[in-house]
Amino acid sequence: MNSDLRDLRRALIGNWTGLLRDLLGPPSRKGARQWRWNRRGSLSAAIAGPKAGTWFDHEAGCGGGPLELIARQHGGSWREAADWGRRWLGWPTWDERRGSGAGIRIAAEGEDDAPVLVPANDLDRDPEVERRHAAQRAAQATWESAAPADPYHDYLQRKGVAPRDLRMDRHRGLIIPLVDLDGTIHSFQRIEENGSKRYLAGGAKAGNFAVIGGPLDRAETILVCEGWATGASAHAATCLPVVAAMDAGNLRQVAPILRERFPDRRIVLLADNDNKPGRSDNPGVTAAAAAARAIRGLMAVPLDPGDFNDLALHHGLGVARIIIDAAAPPPPQVGTYPRPSLDTPAARQALDGLVARFMGEVVAFWTADPLDADFGMAMASLATAAGGADTGTTAHDDDDDWSVFDMPSMFQPWEASGWRHGASGARGRPC
């Protein structure tokens, strides 16, 4: 029962906005991450971020998750709240016989009638893994309880695509399952009629995707894109199976997975052309090109700003098919280093000058006595000679003579430069 209760809570969180509307009515204030109710907005609910699926009444000083909100609005115990939640989701009725096992302690008479979770065998499990598994079960249950999508759904009508095998929850939210290569559902994206999109809280998106027009095993060419509507238009234009990674960041995760499973298939990345006014970068093209290079794939880009759904809407499926058929390898990656300012002879001359300067400083360090009054003069003389001002000048010491001549070139053998130890005119001070 412990896992069943977790699955129920995850499924309710996955349908959180619809549940809030049914329980509390339309919000008085709506933000990107939080909705509020009551005249002063005293009751708030998080609809995005790490706290999604929680609520708090600032006047009453209480809060919780979906089951607590159901119990608050409809009264009764947590059991009754769970039964109501299952009916609301369209799930089968609760099997009371499963309540006798370990994993949850039933409140005794006179105790607080809230659930007290006591994990039976989960003490050594990774909480993150458990969270993923719970979200996976909730996603599967939500998908199974959803009905076929309405072809006249506002979002589908605006995008000009058919629902294909999509499903729809009781609040007309489209449910797009995110699966792996074996077809296991790990999460889902919910799209409301106004186009707002949300993912199942805790669900795994990285490396998972939506498939349009499969199966992939029989396809010689696989198209890969970002959004579901883009993929639906691409499939309608080509009749090829499409993998929708859901966003640009996931393209780099999904493409290698496909290449590993299908090493000999033709894989085409369909880029979103994000070349818009006032924007210096193009993240859609950049992400698609990087993914295509990583798997030795091809890439197709709409000529106008937008994705392939926009292209199909404005120019027709025929134009979209022509551009996809003309997919080519991505252009070579542009280097990030500046262009050279010198040609090869000038660069060689500059390098020889730097080496000569360095060698002059080395000679000055090992030949000059810091206590000698002529130390500064010797340094200046050597630096001038090393710079090439007077390459024939000879500097004399009482016991040793040092001939300062052209410094050795970096592009000729060391012995040919005259800098061998003990060579005439290049003797070093004995140790």
So what's the pLDDT on residue 382? 56
Q: Which residues of the chain have pLDDT under 70?
A: 1-3, 90, 92-128, 130, 334-338, 368-431
DSSP string, 57-94: ETTTTEEE-HHHHHHHHH-S-HHHHHHHHHHHHTPPPP
Residue 161 DSSP one-character state: -
CB distance 231 to 324 below 8 Å? no
Q: Which run of H or E residues covers position 106?
A: none
Among 416, 415, 419, which Cα is nearest to 403's? Answer: 419
Q: Please state the domain extents for the chain.
A: 2-124, 137-325, 344-417
Within a 10 A sphere around the Cβ of 176, how many other Cβ atoms?
A: 24
- Cα–Cα distance between 428 and 401 in angstroms, integer? 9
Please check whether the two domains, 2-124 and 137-325, share a CATH topology.
no
Report the relative pairing of strands 34-37 and 29-30 from DSSP bridges: antiparallel
Rounded to 10°, the helix 283-295/248-261 angle is 20
Q: Is the dihedral of CA 185, 190, 195, 197 positive or negative?
A: negative
Q: What is the CATH number of domain 137-325?
A: 3.40.1360.10
So what's the pLDDT on residue 178? 96
Within a 10 A sphere around the Cβ of 193, how many other Cβ atoms?
A: 17
From the candidate CATH numbers 3.90.580.10, 3.10.110.10, 3.40.140.10, 3.40.190.10, the one assigned to the domain spanning 2-124: 3.90.580.10
CB distance 230 to 272 below 8 Å? yes
Report the relative pairing of strands 221-225 and 242-244 from DSSP bridges: parallel
- Cα–Cα distance between 185 and 110 in angstroms, integer? 42
So what's the pLDDT on residue 240? 97
- Cα–Cα distance between 212 and 216 in angstroms, integer? 9
Does the global pTM surpass 0.95? no
CA-to-CA separations, 13 to 234, 237, 298, 338, in angstroms, rounded: 32, 36, 39, 51
CB distance 163 to 148 below 8 Å? yes
So what's the pLDDT on residue 83? 86
